[in-house]
Every structure is written in C-alpha cells, then in structure tokens.
Chains A and B, each alone.
Chain A
Amino acid sequence: MEEFFQQLTNGLAVGGIYALIALGYTMVYGVLKLINFAHGDLFTYGAYLGLTLLTSLALTDRLGFAMGVLVLALMVMGLVAVLGAILERAAYRPLRQSPRLSAVVSALGASIFLQNTLMLIYGPRFQVYPDNILPAATLNIFGLYLPLMRVLIVLVSVLMMVGLYLFIQKTKIGTAIRAAAIDQDAARLMGIDVNRVIMLVFLVGPALGGAAGLMVGLYYGQINFTMGWIYGMKAFTAAILGGIGNIPGAMVGGLLLGVIEALGAAYISIAWKDAIAFCVLILILIVRPTGLLGERVADKV
C-alpha cells in the first residue's frame, strides 16, 4: 500500500509537467483548431533559456533562492512567450485561410528548425543545470518519500492552471478568448479583435510551456535539444485524453496520464509503460469519443 501511494505521488509529479505543457496545446487548439507540434520545442527553449540566464546572471546568488527563481521564471516565460508569438506570425498566420493540415506540416517544419537551431547554438551534448541551486530537502510523510521540489512542482503547476482557468473564466479578455473559440466571425461582429486574441493565446500557452521547461531543468538537471519531442507527445496525448480545447480537461488529462504511466509501470511492466498508457487512451476514446471533459458535439471536420 505504501508503494502504491509512493507511485501515485511519483505519477502526479510527472503529470503536473504534462498538464502544464498540455495547456499550451489545448489553448491554441481551442481558438485555431491547430495542433501546434512545435509547442514541445518551445518547452525545450524554456529549459535552455533558463539555464543560460541562471548561469550568466547568477540570479539566485544575488537575490536568494526564492526571489531568484521567481525572477528567472518571469524572464523565461516572457522570452518564450515572445518566441511563441514570433512562431505564430511566421509559421501559422500566413496559413490561417488555408487547409488546416497545412498548418500542421508547417508546425512540424518549425519543430525541426527550432530543435536543430538549439543543437547548433548549444552543441549536441546534454546541458546540465548547476546542482546546488535547489534546497534538496526530502519530506517524509507517513513513510512516503516526498522531495520538496516534487511537491513544489505539483503545487506550482496546479497554481498556474487555476490562475489560467480564472483568467479565462472571470476576466474580460478571457471571455474574448472563449468567444473566439466558439465562433470567430460572431466574435468579430461583437467587436472582438480576433487577431489579438490569437496573439494572446500564443503568448500565454508558450509562457506556460516555458515555465514547465524551466521546472524540468531546475529539478531534473539534465536537458537536451530533443527532449521537447517526447514531452510534447505526452502532453498532446494528455490534452486529447482530457478533451482537447478544454482547459480543465488538459489539467485532468495531464495528471491522469502521469498516474496511469506510474501505476502501469509499477504493476504491469516498465518496458510496456507507454503502450499501456496508449491502450488506456484508446479505450477511453472508444467510450468517450471526445475525451474525458470534451464537449460531446457531432461537429464534422
């Protein structure tokens, strides 16, 4: 039983990261019906930019741990957000009137480009965050080992997700985003600047992805230029699992995918872990064709 709870917490920590990245997929999809395959690479840029800023500005030395990391996170999120907006301008906006799969191919091209740019800038070797940044405390609650950082990862992820949810639900701009997601023409007639909404979505989604990249870098230490591909894939799966286009769905999907992976590995087989996760996904989609929280619309593509 103790092992079960341990594995459950292991899964949640992994799932928190998936969820944070999944939000970027789901927001873009909600408004543009576009699968942004380059989103995983924006996450990688978050990790790399974080490393560069951390080592070059020595923020944690100057401001202390908590303040330093906070400032660092804001800088990384800002930079990745700008990158996301540039990506939208260069690769997606010219294709907005075009067949929707064209944008998917453009996204894949962008993904290859972004990945290889990183390889050329930083070299192909693994990059490593300095390992004395984080307080390495490990909590021990009822015999469960819980490194402080893992708890923080889950907390921060959930906090960001709740913040985003409130932003979308309660603010005026959030309402505009929701309106544009439902019907762009009607939204425009109501005086909403849809282009701005899209730009905003491409700022917020990548910012969250960049934050996830920074967290992965800070906690796991080891980063490389291809890591966005795997994380992106998992996060996309999570977004679909929860019902793509749906923000609480991305959170639930992410956490659930993390837990499915952990429990599948623990009780069935580690080597088959990803296959088990996909099997569960397919079964869920057979029962609920639009994911767990997705709207049940008979909308045709």
Chain B
Amino acid sequence: MIQHHIEACAKVPDLKEILILGYYLAAELAQFVSEMIQKYNVNIRYLQEFTALGTAGGMYHFRDQIRSGNPEGFFVLNGDVCADFPLEDILEYNRSKIAAGSSPLITVMATETTRQQALNYGCIVMDQLSGHITHYVEKPSTFVSTLVNCGVYFCSPELFQTMATVFNMKQSNFYNEHCYSGSNDPINKDSEAIQLEQDVMMPLAGTGRAFVFPTARWWSQVKSAGAAVYANRQYLQLYRKTHPERLAKNTDAVIIGDVHIHPTAVVDRTAVLGPNVSIGAEATIGPGVRLRDTLVLASASVGEHSLVAHSIVGRSVRIGSWARVEGTPCDPNPNKPFAKMDNLPLFNNDGRLNPSITILGCSVKVPSEVILLNSIVLPNKELTRSFKYEIIL
C-alpha cells in the first residue's frame, strides 16, 4: 500500500530521503525497503518506534533524523490513506505562502466530504482569504465543517519546537500525576505519545501558522479491507492517466475496464477480467475464470470456470474449479457529491457480520464448486464446504 506513497514522494524534485516510521519489526520491512530503493532510486530508511507513539510521537522521537541535512521542510503522509497525492502542488502552495510573508509551520491537505461523514474525520474551518486554519476538531460529535484532514502534511522543521512544548508539558503532567498517585510503574509509554491532530494542530489553529491545502482530487482512507478494493479501483484509474503501460490489454485475456496483471502472473486467454482487478506476481488464473473488483495477491491460483468478485484473494491461496467467491461492495455512494467510504464496523448491532468484501487469508484452500459469500477466512484454513456471512478462524 505505501508503495503508492513512495512513488508520489519520489516524483517530488529535490526530495532527499524517505523515512518510513512504524511499529512493525524492521526485519519485516527490510526486503520491501531495499526493493523500493532499487525501483525508485531514492534513499529510504525504516525507523522503528519502540512503542506505539501516536501520529506525532514518532516524528518527535526521530526529530534529529528528520532534520538532518537541513531540509526546507518535510512531507508527512499517513500510511492508511490512499490518494492521487498532489505533493508538488502542496510544496508550491507552501512556498507561495512564505513568499507572501507568512511562516507556515504546517500545511494540511484537506478534502470535502458530506455533512454526515465529516464527523468521522478531523474537521477544519478555513479562512477562505488567507488559507489559515481557524479551527480544528478531531471527530466532532456535532457538525463543524465538511472540510476534512486527509492525513497528508507539509511541515517546517520549526514544527519540532511546537512539539517540544507539547512533549515537555505532557512529561511534566505525567511526572506530577505519577508522583501524586504513588504508582510504581516506571515507564508510561503514553507519556511520550503525541497526537499530531489533537496535540499539535488544535493549538496551532487560529495562530496563522497552520494552513489548508484543499484538493478535489481523489482521496480515501484505507481502514478496512473493503477499502482496499475501492482504493485499487481508484489507483488503476489513476494509472490510465499516469502509467497506461501498467494496465493489461486484451491480448492477455478478455479485459474489461482497468486491470493490472503482474508480468510474472500467468493468466489463461479465456479468462475474463475486470473492471478493477489486480493480479499479483506469479499468480495463476485458469481457463474460463471470471474476476471482477478483486485483488489476487502473489502466488495465488484460481481454478477453471470459477468466479471471484468484490474479494481479496490472499498470497498463495488456492481456489478450485467452478467455485464462487463473492463479497458485497462497500464503495462510496456515487450519487452523493463528496461522499467517502463508510468504514462500517465488522459486526452490526445484532452481532452479525456486516455485508462486506470476502477476504481469503494467505494459503487458504477453497475446494471446487463451493460458494463463499461475504466471509472472511483466516490464513492457512483448508475449507471443505460453502460459507456465507462467516468468519472462519
């Protein structure tokens, strides 16, 4: 998923380095990072947080690494969003504000959403004339604005001073509470956690040093697996403009709409793929297979005459013949302007699974002739029958 972020960053002229911050073990990402360095010819380092530090805690912790080389500023991109990232435009916008005499600490990419959905995001009130953030509320309980934070920022190195203030304040608060409560817990990991949204942006609102970059380009959160199918559709659509060579042609199989087939995948010529299908490396798609709105990950195989729709087929999954693997799309309502995806919880109020895409974990085996409908199958399961609306543990 973050390869898209890396690709967007690598396109920015004079970008010096990409830092990936996370709580995953460094070993898990080592191969990916070295592949990305080769592919995009850019410096990339992974910095592992010792504990989950919140959206800004990690940045503050690694402030020296980020500041090294004295950059003009740095982009911050949340890993769980996908977008047609307008990074160069944000940079341009930021520079224009400096040229106009402002000294922005942070510029936030923002997008319009519906009144109802805005409540799930960080809502921004913007001064139309200056572009200042005048008010910021994270996930408000009542309506504040339809302009929401996209989790994409351009920051000045000076922002670390603001963070230092927040950090010191939190530390001293913690120290005081800690002494009074007489707790013996020597380290409180929360004390170093800083939320960029609540702890940094909210105080900066109204100071004239936080700016908004509104964009009408495509943007979405990817918080649930269902969002991945939607994000895939949008990225493929983007490829049509930016990288048409990545889209499959009718010579490979019968292609409908936007389809990406990895060069090492084997797809039978009688298969019918699309729209919105991505086939991973070394995957095998058999004769007469029908795929629609689906991601087939590396080394997976789909047997002849099977249909897979609105699903994610994990790595090394095996699907038999005449099987049907189907989910329910959870794309944004196309009839509502600015509508985003609803990230529904997994279960509804009755404790039943909400209809969503079907997900097959890695190395799952699906026998011939069964149907899997709106289900989630955990890795390495060998199924022997049909399932509907179930999580198979």
Bound pair (A, B): no
- Which residues of A line the B interface, CB within 8 A? none
- Which residues of B line the A interface, CB within 8 A? none
